[in-house]
Amino acid sequence: MVMSIPVTQARAELPRILEMIEDGDEVTLTRHGRPVAVIVRPDTLRTRRTADTDAVIDKLSDMLNTDSRQPLHGSAMLSPKDGEQLLQEVASSRSGRTGR
């Protein structure tokens, strides 16, 4: 279950919120009606990060598999700096560190 709760209410109900998180729920904390944080179980967060990393790897793989005889055009171009940053992010996420 996904629910939103104001930060002020969350302070008073933290034990109940933690039980909900342990049961697999997701809680969005809001301030003045705007989301400011999401609380999820650590394994849920790891799964989401892995999915994001896999999407980046797939995109990079597609770019690398493009016919090498034809240059990349426009926004499809990956600069050496961007490539290095991407590789660092992938390596960091796979080692359990976010690097951020």
Same domain, 46 and 82: yes
Residue 16 has pLDDT above 70, yes or no: yes
For residue 40, the one-letter residue type is V
Q: Which residues pair with 29 in a beta bridge?
A: 5, 37
Tell me whether residue 100 is in a domain.
no
pLDDT digits (tens, 9 = 90+) for 24-37: 999 999 999 999 99
8: containing domain:
2-39
The Cβ of residue 93 has, within 10 Å, a number of other Cβ atoms equal to: 19
For residue 35, the one-letter residue type is P
Q: Which residue has the higher pLDDT, 54 or 71?
A: 54
Residue 19 has pLDDT above 90, yes or no: yes
What is the pTM (predicted TM-score) of this model?
0.49
Same domain, 15 and 32: yes
